[in-house]
Structure 1
């Protein structure tokens, strides 16, 4: 019985195999004809995920890194050599926004200027000593004290005045016989700023006053106290600097390319952070004829009535000036966020197809900046659709696809030279040298750098989850940076640009689960973070490091607080690939 059951199972198994061969066998015998050709007849190319410039007609290994080649996307088929396509997913994650260029009437357009309140130098004065001597009593104890004309400021013992008073007493007894001598003695005392009443009192009393008073010659606020009680002073020496703050100056920095937009007599509306709802309407009273060669700016000034004492020297202010351009009221204008700078070149990205995410880089010639808009002299036409938000992300996509970009003038021609690190910031940033900022701002920037370093370590360890966590911490640290600590419109604007890009690139990493995508964004993040550390400082030595094989063999930088190389672009695959190219102190 047992042998019969085994025989039945063998027969059933054989029947099953035979039926399977009848049903499926013939399909496996059909030759595979689409290894290298799509069903549409298009040739399939193969590329490397790390080196997308590699294109092979057959699968195999990458000739650069040895990785297995993968099928190349065919999204860019039918496009010109300079055009490239982004996926809808990439558009959504990067929040890329576009604007249609059109002629814009800039008549009565308001330009915003940043500035400070300063003392009215025309109303400033100094209180001097008109005779030599020792300060016996000082009645002004601190700067900022208000004084009125005729107020007693100090008393001075002067041997010269003691002798002159004795001469007056003697000459007064001889004035009938020697009137010229008497008159000369009185005149000498007047030159030392003794009043008629003081001179008459000495003459009548016949007594010499050892300590002579010094009275304020003007009304105002003491801005500098230059002497102390007991000091010896010389004739003509300054005792105090006194400012009349009933009127103050509003000084604004004007960039070189804006000079021709302003003239004396233009209306300017001035606001302060202290009184945001109060507007001071004045006229431009002075435009400095000399350009500051260091900042490439000149000073524009308005004089403000300050009898209420609301405006304090050193207070930050903002001015709005309406521009009346009679020669060319119609201009082609684009938002400043659309423009990328690469040394001498200014570039924008245009969307070449209305209903498709296809882009192309375009070099433009910029004119004056009006508010947050740039005049376009050459390179764009009315109706062109340009990228105004997420521009740097689009540029990064162009670089990855080997298209013309901010760093690539022509396809395959890179302009970045890793052997000259200092040129890198010249290409991207208007400011690349250290500027003076408060220590508190440096501490806040240091927190951003610390989170950046943790992100770098996560990439070194091939940990995309930790990368997302630390990218979120970068954004949180950016939220705590106080821009109000910065002074100067150029410095303020430069940090705003850096902060915007660091935040945007960190956000892209947060939404990227693929570590290779994270590393691509980290490359650009490192450029902006490096410039921030170089310009503002973090009170710590930081090493800029470089790997020539990263970024599709174009090279990529990163920051570290240690000299030893731990490569965030390859992780364990090439952990020690790289070198220190610069120390930032």
Structure 2
């Protein structure tokens, strides 16, 4: 009996111990794991691949673009310094497309397109002028565009000087036996006025003086301009009509600087026009202007076209295709679609997909050769087989810019603090309304400087900067009771004072704008950190500092650029709002 009790007790103890080990420990472990998971989930932040300023504690949609949020930590996992990663959803919404680039061996890629228009052949133009002074009694040309033939009567002119010359001829003719030299001189005088031998003989034979004399066309062609009207009194040599022979015409094209090396006189080209879309016309480059047009940065290229059928009309737009030699000598030459290239004026950029399996991109600076059709030759920056973005390039660049990576607007990882000392962003701090009111006074003086620079005023910023210095002195740091807001303001205050003092000491507007950029960087930091109980806009201009760009604050949503004033008043965009 005692033994059975003992055995039962031992079995119960073993059972309880086993149950604890099997279930109790697991329960604790599960609970610990659950707690750990909740902690990890609680610490995880979610962001938008297109708008990295969005940070939320749980997954969802981006409040700006509606894309799915991604874990903030995983968004940059394994990326190089200047690589960006986009979600598949972002790729689909922006319709981002890529292609692998290769050597320019396609026939279309080995041709160059030029645009131009038809002009009259100046070598075939003729001006019909009056050979003597007089009044136009009759003009036989009625309108511009009328065709005339060589020898056709153009006008009849009353010429008093010719009347007197005819009287001299009749007098000299009666004395030609005794005064042959005088007689010959009078006849030559009439010949200089373009009277023919037959006309002179007719005057001499009839013995009558003619009051009106005809002017005949010396060339055949089309009247391109009437330069006189009936009843006009014209001087000797004054133009009456301009006649153009449109049997040949000029096709005048504009070639850019990077295309000049591919063109030469005598080169065969193919010309097309919208008037005859299914026809191609052969022509030869006859002239390349030796002077570059400094405004359009182009050179005039001329080709002569046969126009016996009258198909080409002066003023008609035409395009030409210039066949280029195939690039057999340089196996490394790469061709990319023109849509892949972003051009800033100083740099040419493309975005390369660096991971074949994931939407990861990196900006690449390239050197452009000639534009062949719808493609650019890349002389440096890409290798055969690189995969580049050809559609949605601006969207990818915008994502890079927002993430602070190298982009079209940012050539050297430019951020708001690049032109000044870096002060860390500590996030929004809770401060009293009194402190915000005092900071608002500083901001108001800042806005006076900004508006003065917008209006190209270099005097008002000096006094406004002095007022700003006084407003900073009135900001009570004791109102900031908690760290890190207290020490953060000490840093900002020092830098704001330095920039404002520099503005207050100069009337040079360029120096004022340079220091205003630094002032803006710290002012943006201050307003973001502490707030001023007012909505303001963070604006950005990509053209400042040789395309590095610069930021400023504004109370208006519309862009008014303080860095350029009237010269580029609307250059820029709103990049952020601060409530």
> Into which bin does the TM-score normalised by the smaller protein fall?
0.5 to 0.7
Find the counterpart in structure 2 of residue 355 from structure 1: 357
Q: Residue 36 and residue 398 in structure 1: after superposition, are their counterparts in 2 closer, same or farther (change >3 A)?
A: farther
Alignment of 1:549-568 (within 5 A): 555=539
Task: Provide the alpha-carbon RMSD of the alignment.
Answer: 3.8
| CA distance, structure 2, for counterparts of residue 48 and residue 337 of structure 1 | 26
Seen in structure 2, the aligned counterparts of structure 1 residues 398 and 118 have a Cα distance that, compared at 3 Å, is same
Contact 2:49–2:86 (CA under 8 A) maintained in structure 1: no
- 1:388 corresponds in structure 2 to 390
Residue 93 of structure 2 corresponds to 93
Provide the residue aligned with 1:505 in structure 2. Answer: none
Match of 1:129 in 2: 130
State whether residues 409 and 415 of structure 1, in contact with CA within 8 Å, keep that contact through their aligned partners in structure 2.
Answer: no
**1:439 corresponds to which residue?**
none
Q: Identify which range, 280-289 or 26-35, moves more after superposition.
A: 26-35
Shift of 1:197: 1.1
Distance 2:326 2:417 in 1: 39
Describe the shift of the 1:257–1:579 C-alpha distance in structure 2 as closer, same or farther (beyond 3 A). Answer: closer
Map Cα deviations across residues 527-583 of structure 1 (whole Å, 9 max, x no partner).
xxxxxxxxxxxxxxxxxxxx9899x986258xxxxxxxxxxxxxxxx9855664466
Partner of 2:400: 398
**Equivalent position SS for 1:37:** helix
Q: Which residue of 2 aligns with 1:265?
A: 266
* Matched positions, count: 406
Counterpart of 1:33 in structure 2 is 36
Q: Which segments of 5 or more consecutive residues in structure 1 lack a partner in the other structure?
A: 1-25, 59-68, 422-546, 558-573
Whether 1:311 aligns to 2:312 is yes
Judging changes above 3 Å, is the alpha-carbon distance between structure 1 residues 184 and 223 closer, same or farther for their aligned structure 2 residues? same
Structure 1 residues 141 and 580, CA gap change in structure 2 (3 angstroms): same
Q: Give the C-alpha shift of residue 116 in structure 1.
A: 0.7
- Partner SS state of residue 36, structure 2: coil
Q: What's the counterpart of residue 213 of structure 1?
A: 214
1:6-21 equivalent positions in 2, closer than 5 A:
none
The answer to whether the Cα contact below 8 Å between 1:53 and 1:402 also exists between their aligned partners in 2 is no
After TM superposition, list the pairs within 5 Å mapping 1:268-307 onto structure 2.
268-307=269-308
> What SS does the aligned partner of 1:200 have?
helix
* Structure 2 contact 351–388 (Cα < 8 Å) conserved: yes
Distance in 1 (alpha carbons) for counterparts of 2:250 and 2:356:
51
Deviation by residue 1:475-504 (Cα, 9 ceiling, x = unmatched): xxxxxxxxxxxxxxxxxxxxxxxxxxxxxx
In 2, are the aligned partners of 1:51 and 1:553 still within 8 Å (CA)?
no
Alpha carbons 2:132, 2:159 under 8 Å: kept: yes
* 1:226-274 C-alpha deviation (Å, 9 max, x unpaired): 1111111111111111111111111111111111111122211111110
Change in 2 beyond 3 A, CA 1:34/1:275: same
Name the CA distance, whole Å, in 1 between partners of 2:273 and 2:76: 52
Contact kept in structure 2, 1:107 and 1:324, CA below 8 Å = no
Query: Does the 8 Å contact 1:272/1:317 carry over to 2?
Result: yes
Task: For residues 134-166 of structure 1, give each alpha carbon's deviation from its aligned partner in whole angstroms, at most 9, with x where no partner exists.
Answer: 111111121111111111111111111000011
CA–CA distance in 2 between the matches of 1:162 and 1:415?
90
Structure-2 change in CA distance of 1:383 and 1:325 (3 Å): closer
Q: Secondary structure at the match of 1:115?
A: strand
Instruction: Give the corresponding residue for 1:185.
Output: 186
For residues 49 and 383 of structure 2, the distance between their equivalents in structure 1, rounded to whole angstroms, comes to 37
- In structure 2, distance between residues paired with 1:48 and 1:326: 44
- SS of the residue corresponding to residue 162 of structure 2 reads helix
Distance 1:94 1:357, change over 3 A: same
Post-superposition shift, 1:51?
7.7
Q: Is the 8 A contact 2:353 2:389 kept in 1?
A: yes
Q: Whole-Å Cα distance in 2 between the matches of residues 413 and 38 of structure 1?
A: 31
SS at match of 1:156: strand
